[in-house]
Amino acid sequence: MALLPSEGMLAAVSCSFTFPAAVGLPALPGTLFITSFRLRFEPANAALRSPGHVHRLLDDALVGIPRACVGKLTYPQAGAATRSKYDSALPTQLVVKFKDLRAWALGGDVSALMLTLNRHVFLDSPLSLFAFTGGAAGAAPTQLREQQGHAIYDLRADFARMGVDLAGGPFRVTELNRSYTMCPTYPPTLVVPAAMTDREVASVAEFRSKGRLPICCFVHARNSASIWRCAQPKRGLLNAQSAADDRHVMHIAASNRHRRRVWIADCRPELNARVNTLTGGGTESASHAHASVSFLNIANIHAMRESLEAVRALVASGSADLDFAWLARVEDTKWLGHVRLVLAAALRVADAVENGTTVLVHCSDGWDRTGQLCALAQLLLDPHYRTLEGFAHVVEKEWVRVGHKFHDRVGPGASETEEQSPVFLQFLDCVWQLWRQFPTYFEFTGELLACVADATMSGRYGTFLGNCDRERAAWGVATRTASLWTHVLGHRAKYQNPFYRPPGATHAVLIPPASTVLRQVTLWTEYYFRGATLPATPVGNPSPPLFGAGPVPTAKNSHDDLGLAMAAALRRIQVLEDELRNARAVAAAVTTGGLLMQPPPPPVGVQFSALAAAPLSSGPVVSASPPASTAAIEFHVGNLSVSSELYQHQ
């Protein structure tokens, strides 16, 4: 298999690839190759080194999985199948657990495997990831394209697109954080109420956890309602107050021309928010003069991590007993319940803004659940964020620039910790649920969402490295690493949805009834089942699609079946369009000097018949019943019938 540019070999260890017991296949001897980017297994039998010969789990191993995606190395509990012949206490397998729910079981000299893998997959510094050591390799034009990818989001351009004047209106840009001293996890430029001075803004930051004061991220073009985000106030046990923070919220309310009151959407369960007062946090007072507070009951990062681990265990199980109670077992993981809570909250926020209410969203520190709701609400409200470029913009704006802790939550190149949690993956899952239910509203497909999810774990791109802008600037991410968005926009056709319909002026928003969305929530099988013992989707149809040209490969699953059928249909449309152009050329050729001449032979696939003839000009007429002085020329192009009526001047 070809390596990426600058991908080098680090180690090779003899071992065997062991399939789960439910698969029923013997272990395959071979070699584990560790490169600067991936882990890859190659069977000793050369006949098995191309995909499709044994099992799809081996197909994954043949391609490889990024080494930064490894989360844990474990010895499975010794059982009858893994006990050593001489000493039952000695492990005979090593399980490589990946962050994307996949896992490999390797046999052989497991001590050597453990030592080698520990040395090469768990890195001392993010600067040792492939993104820095080889991801941006290339000539100067390539490096420039990558820098443009890192700079894909422009705050001023985004607000100008919304119709917001940041130079003279209720909002303004402050560069108070340009040295990252006011808030180390916020970007240098922030949108705040124009009526607040920089001194007051700094005072507000002191009253909010981690300095994360309320900043504007979206303004509704029609009704001036807006979405703001922040961290919890530092009220503590003494119910501390801040006059600057109160004025800040008052000016946020005043920025709305029609409804001068703010709905504060606290993402947490109310009990959790109240408990945070013990550690100096808390929530806004219910008696706030310019705001009302609601709690949205979204669980914390630890609950999300445990829930996804339950999904991992369920997916890995090959027990036939699960087949008859599958949906119940899926619900037992609580993952879909968490997804429904996030979607329901995002729909509430979007609906409030669409109906003229300004919303201030926060959780504890404002970088996990807050990002989920703000990004999803904008996706529902603004069709721009449902395009390829727009989705990149909202991810950059609400996750990358504003300080979601990707290094702590995902940890490419790091072993599992209590700080890791699939918060961003859950956001992508929510987007996938909306895309699956409303596919014509999105310019991109589920394949893009899977690509973005993989990019957070792979260490190949600099886009999601670090915890904040300050760290990425210190590491030189923009100049030293490749950008995911450069890759995505450079392969637009791969991620573009052929069923997308650009929005009209009267139906730009996507705010369906919550019950419609929540009752259709299901597991994102195309992503979570990649490491499952059983196929995630029904197998492909061996019959070729209609209009297929030449040999057509058999699809691996029903999803790929649709892709092949779509490709064949598009080819057929192209053929018909070519034949139609030829037919029109024939119609133009038969009219020369005002006289209908003998037509030339029709092109292949085109049948021509002159139904009437008279001296004609070349002006076309659209008429249900042509006058007597009209020659009607009919073409049969494939299964299409095209008539050309030529009208004679009176």
Going by C-alpha positions, the residue among 391, 526, 529 that lies closest to residue 463 is: 391
437, with CB counted inside 10 A (0-12, 13-18, 19+), is middle
pLDDT digits (tens, 9 = 90+) for 246-299: 999 999 999 999 998 999 999 999 999 999 999 899 888 877 788 999 999 999
State the pTM of this model. Answer: 0.86
Other Cβ atoms within 10 Å of 48 Cβ, number: 17
Residue 612 has pLDDT above 50, yes or no: no
- Domain ranges for the chain: 9-122, 140-531, 582-647
Residue 632 has pLDDT above 60, yes or no: no
Which pLDDT belongs to residue 625? 40
* Arithmetic mean of pLDDT over the chain: 87
Angle subtended at Cα 100 by Cα 36 and Cα 51, rounded to the nearest 5 degrees:
70
Q: Which CATH number fits the domain 9-122, given the four candidates 2.40.50.100, 3.90.1150.10, 3.30.70.890, 2.30.29.30?
A: 2.30.29.30
% pLDDT > 90, the chain = 68
Section 547-566 average pLDDT: 71
Which stretches of 386-483 are DSSP H helices? Answer: 388-395, 406-409, 423-437, 446-458, 469-475, 477-480
Which has more confidence, 252 or 237?
252
DSSP string computed for 107-135? ES-HHHHHHHHHHHHS-S-GGGSHHHHTT
69, 183, 217, 363: the catalytic one is: 363
Q: Which helix (H) or strand (E) element contains residue 230?
A: strand 226-230
Sign of CA dihedral 492, 495, 499, 502: negative
Which has more confidence, 564 or 171?
171
Section 397-421 average pLDDT: 97
CA distance 569 to 82: 51
107 DSSP β-pair partners: 16, 93
Which pLDDT belongs to residue 419? 96
Which pLDDT belongs to residue 380? 98
Section 466-476 average pLDDT: 97
DSSP string computed for 139-193? -HHHHHHHHHHHT---HHHHHHHTT--TTSSSEEEE-TTTTS-S-TTS-S-EEEE
Q: Out of 44-58, 313-327, 415-429, 628-642, which region has the weakest mean confidence (pLDDT)?
A: 628-642
Section 505-526 average pLDDT: 93
pLDDT digits (tens, 9 = 90+) for 579-598: 999 998 888 888 655 555 55
Q: Out of 82-91, 282-291, 548-557, which region has the weakest mean confidence (pLDDT)?
A: 82-91
Which pLDDT belongs to residue 137? 56
pLDDT digits (tens, 9 = 90+) for 143-184: 677 788 999 999 999 999 999 999 989 999 999 999 999 999
Residue 611 has pLDDT above 60, yes or no: no
Sign of CA dihedral 374, 379, 385, 388: positive
363 is catalytic: yes
CA dihedral 571, 572, 574, 578 (to 10 degrees): 140
CA distances to 152, 409, 497 from 361, rounded to whole Å, are 25, 20, 31
Q: pLDDT-derived band of residue 622, with 50, 70 and 90 as boundaries?
A: very low
Q: pLDDT-derived band of residue 607, with 50, 70 and 90 as boundaries?
A: very low
Q: Which residue has the tokens 């399939």?
A: 19
Which has more confidence, 62 or 605?
62
% pLDDT > 70, the chain = 85
* Assigned token pair, 375: 């990004």
Which pLDDT belongs to residue 2? 78
Chain Cα centroid distance, residue 486 = 15
Residue 424 has pLDDT above 50, yes or no: yes
Backbone conformation region of residue 108, classed left if phi is above 0, alpha if psi is from -120 to 50, else beta: left
Q: Out of 456-470, 552-566, 606-620, which region has the weakest mean confidence (pLDDT)?
A: 606-620
pLDDT digits (tens, 9 = 90+) for 20-78: 888 889 999 999 999 999 999 999 999 998 888 888 899 999 999 999 999 999 998 65
Going by C-alpha positions, the residue among 299, 296, 288 that lies closest to residue 235 is: 288
DSSP collapsed to 3 states, 463-481: CCCCCCHHHHHHHCHHHHC
168, with CB counted inside 10 A (0-12, 13-18, 19+), is exposed
Section 350-377 average pLDDT: 97
DSSP string computed for 16-38? EEE--TTT----EEEEEEEESSE
CA distance 198 to 428: 35
Q: What is the DSSP letter of 326?
A: H
Q: pLDDT-derived band of residue 311, with 50, 70 and 90 as boundaries?
A: very high
* Assigned token pair, 630: 């009209």
Q: What is the DSSP letter of 242?
A: -
CB 98 within 8 A of CB 71: yes
Going by C-alpha positions, the residue among 581, 612, 523, 88 that lies closest to residue 314 is: 523
